[in-house]
Chains A and B, each alone.
Chain A
Amino acid sequence: MGLLSKKDSKLILDPLTDDNPVTIQVLGICSALAITAQLKPSIVMAISVIFVLGVGNVVISLMRNIIPSKIRIIVQLIVVATLVIIVDQVLKAFAYSLSKELSVFIGLIITNCIIMGRFEAFALGNGPWKSFLDGIGNALGYGVILIIVGFFRELFGSGTLFGLKVLGDSVEKTGLYALGYENNGFMVLPPMALIVVGIIIWVQRSRNKELIED
Chain B
Amino acid sequence: MEHIELFFKSIFVDNMVFAYFLGMCSYLAVSKKVSTAVGLGAAVIFVLAITVPLNWLLDQYLLQEGALTWLGPEYADYDLSFLSFIMFIATIATMVQLVEIIVEKFSPSLYNSLGIFLPLIAVNCAILGGSLFMQSREIETLGLALNYGVASGIGWFLAIVAIAAIREKIRYSNVPAPLRGLGITFIITGLMAIGFMSFGGMLTGGEDEATEETQEDTVGMITTVTETKEDDKTSSLVIETINDTDKKQ
Judge whether B25 is part of the interface by a CB distance below 8 angstroms. yes
Judge whether B64 is part of the interface by a CB distance below 8 angstroms. no
Chain B proximity mask over A83-108: 1 for CB below 8 Å, otherwise 0: 01100110000000000111111011
**Separation in Å of the A170 CB from the closest CB of chain B?**
4
**Separation in Å of the B52 CB from the closest CB of chain A?**
14
If A191-B191, A191-B197, A194-B190 touch, whether A101 touches B222 (CB-CB below 8 Å) is yes
Chain A proximity mask over B164-191: 1 for CB below 8 Å, otherwise 0: 0000000000001111111110110111
Looking across the interface, which residue of chain A has its beta carbon closest to that of B19?
A: A190
Q: How many A-B residue pairs have CB under 8 A?
A: 209
Q: How far is the CA of A30 from the CA of B26 in the complex (A)?
A: 10
If A82-B86, A213-B181 touch, whether A104 touches B132 (CB-CB below 8 Å) is yes
**A residues near B37, Cβ cutoff 8 Å:** none
For chain B, the count of residues having a C-beta within 8 Å of the partner chain is 69
For chain A, the count of residues having a C-beta within 8 Å of the partner chain is 71
**Separation in Å of the A152 CB from the closest CB of chain B?**
13
Judge whether A81 is part of the interface by a CB distance below 8 angstroms. yes
Q: How far is the CA of A18 from the CA of B89 in the complex (A)?
A: 32
B219 touches A35 (CB 8 A): yes
Judge whether B107 is part of the interface by a CB distance below 8 angstroms. no
Q: How far is the CA of A202 from the CA of B177 in the complex (A)?
A: 9
Judge whether A33 is part of the interface by a CB distance below 8 angstroms. yes
If A100-B216, A182-B237, A186-B241 touch, whether A30 touches B125 (CB-CB below 8 Å) is yes
Q: Identify which of B124, B133, B182, B233 gathers the most chain A CB atoms within 10 Å of its CB.
A: B182
Judge whether A155 is part of the interface by a CB distance below 8 angstroms. no
If A77-B93, A81-B89 touch, whether A101 touches B219 (CB-CB below 8 Å) is yes
Q: B-side interface residues toward A, CB under 8 Å?
A: 18-25, 28-29, 82-86, 88-90, 93-94, 97, 119, 122-125, 127-129, 132-133, 136, 176-184, 186-187, 189-191, 193-194, 197, 216, 218-224, 227, 232-235, 237-242, 245
